[in-house]
Amino acid sequence: MQIEINQTAILLIQGDITRQSTNAIVNAANSSLMGGGGVDGAIHQAGGPDILKECELIVKHRGKLPAGKAVATNAGNLNAKYVIHTVGPVWINGGEGEPDLLASAYRESLILAERLEIKSISFPSISTGAYRYPLDQAAKIAINTVAEFAREEAQSLKEIVFVLFNEKAYEAYKNALSNVRV
Ligand code: ADP
């Protein structure tokens, strides 16, 4: 599924983000930037050790990455040019700032992509695995944040892809995307 807002395409595909050829792929990292399970583990495994080396340098210089922030590194052996590491919120009960932090993780990643002057970026479904954010709520925030960015701020970005790992995630994002005003 795909829509276009202000000359930026927002696409949904079902698949593995490590196989994408967009200029950047986004990693749903944790604050330590030291890798982990889920999509984080898959990106480091497929990309090789150079990504982790750069993550280590970043943490050494500026400390752990708080939830809602994003940093870019090289993409090692991946097809992308950059990996943008962002940290989504851990779901507690929805009343601990989780929606704002999740929106910020997407927004900060997009701002960084614009600063890098790239044309295309792929996102996973941030926070909906180990961090337990309810899928339908996360999909709505993800899609609405990206759509608003496309409408108001996108310049170099022409393609924003959500790479959903399974059918259930794809359906949730499809539902959210079909409610967006074009
Ligand atoms: P978080 O800690 O932010 O919840 P996870 O990696 O545990 O991150 O899960 C985030 C989402 O990424 C989940 O929906 C999971 O199914 C998905 N995912 C896991 N591996 C991949 C992959 N290789 N490509 C795309 N999505 C993936």
What single string gives the DSSP state of each residue in 113-139? Answer: HHHTT-SEEEE--TTSSTT---HHHHH
**Is pTM, for the whole model, over 0.75?**
yes
DSSP string, 71-113: EEEE-TTSSSSEEEEEEPPPPSSS-SSHHHHHHHHHHHHHHHH
Is any atom of ligand 1 closer than 6 Å to the C-beta of 122?
Answer: no
Question: Which pLDDT does position 32 carry in this prediction?
Answer: 98
Q: How many domains does the chain have?
A: 1
Tell me the pLDDT band of 181, cut-offs 50, 70 and 90. confident
Tell me the pLDDT band of 1, cut-offs 50, 70 and 90. very high
Instruction: Report the atom number in ligand 1 closest to the C-alpha of 87.
Output: 3
pLDDT at 13 over 90: yes
Rounded to 5°, angle at Cα 160 from 131 and 86 = 35
The residue contributing the CA closest to ligand 1 atom 19 is: 39
pLDDT at 99 over 90: yes
The residue contributing the CA closest to ligand 1 atom 15 is: 129
Tell me which residue range forms the domain holding 6. 2-178
CB atoms < 10 A from the CB of 91, how many?
17
pLDDT at 182 over 90: no
pLDDT single digits (tens) 36-82: 999 999 999 999 999 999 999 999 999 999 999 999 999 999 999 99
Average confidence (pLDDT) over 88-107: 98
Average confidence (pLDDT) over 116-131: 98
The residue contributing the CA closest to ligand 1 atom 3 is: 127
Average confidence (pLDDT) over 154-182: 97
Angstrom distance (rounded) from CA 21 to CA 24: 8
Q: Distance, CA 130 to ligand 1 centroid (Å)?
A: 8
Task: Please check whether residue 144 is in contact with residue 138, taking contact to mean a CB–CB distance below 8 angstroms.
Answer: no
Q: Distance, CA 118 to ligand 1 centroid (Å)?
A: 23
Query: Annotated active-site positions, please?
Result: 40
Q: 95 in helix, strand or coil?
A: coil
Task: Please check whether residue 17 is in contact with residue 86, taking contact to mean a CB–CB distance below 8 angstroms.
Answer: no
With the most atoms of ligand 1 within 8 angstroms of its CB, the residue from 125, 127, 135, 137 to mutate is 125
With the most atoms of ligand 1 within 8 angstroms of its CB, the residue from 165, 167, 171 to mutate is 165
Which domain CATH number covers 18?
Answer: 3.40.220.10
Per the prediction, the chain carries an average pLDDT of 98
